[in-house]
Structure 1
């Protein structure tokens, strides 16, 4: 009997995105391409039932509950396109892109459409680069 091959993380993300409503799909794909273009050590996978991005390089040991590898995860609840950075409060964001003041340290970025994504592209890249500077290697 043939052994089934599990799709790669990137294939799972692509499949997930392909099933989204067209206007959401376009925004999510645009944000995905921007984040993955920032650094070759950014990986993607489905986590918490949505596309997420994480650091794939070497890091100091840490408690998994700290989610130190997790860069961002999409929250696509009821047509809202939100990117959640679990440790966003630690990012030195001079651009004002990160929103919210959650006690657990999360910060969010809301996208309305592809035009909005493009207008935030450089600031988004900057936030991801700042996040990468915090990695304890």
Structure 2
């Protein structure tokens, strides 16, 4: 990440005006812990994460809900093998063959699910091409 982009991201996170901002910061840390190669930026006015391509993007459009969209890149990749995730607590809602959404209705729910969320992201990232 370029220094200016990193500074912009830090400013963005510091000034994030969302009722679940502390959960955003916790989930961001969890995502970054999965792989030291993960890069981050702001996309659609929210944190976005990439390895070889984008794979996780926050959806902060609703003040009462926090979502993380897991996907296989900036553009659909119909030929990408199907991603499989072990998710015993059913955090991930599939919205397509290679697209899932994790929704947290409260800060407490996000904090309580942090370990499971991290495991889901780790599994997701390991299957990206």
1:106-131 Cα distance to aligned partner (Å, 9 max, x none): 21111233322221111111112112
Structure holding more strand per residue: 2
Count, aligned residues: 117
Structure 1's unaligned 5+ residue stretches are 57-68
Please give the TM-score of this superposition, normalised by the length of structure 2.
0.75
Structure holding more helix per residue: 1
Indicate the RMSD between aligned Cα atoms, in angstroms. 2.3
Q: 1:105 to 1:131 in 2, by over 3 A?
A: closer
1:90 maps to which residue? 83
How much has 1:71 moved relative to structure 2?
1.8
Please say which structure displays the higher CA radius of gyration. Answer: 1
Structure 2's unaligned 5+ residue stretches are 73-81
How much has 1:22 moved relative to structure 2?
5.4
Please give the TM-score of this superposition, normalised by the length of structure 1.
0.71
How much has 1:26 moved relative to structure 2?
0.8
Report the 3-state secondary structure (helix = DSSP H, G, I; strand = E; otherwise coil) of the residue aligned with 2:23.
helix
Q: Does 1:121 align with 2:114?
A: yes
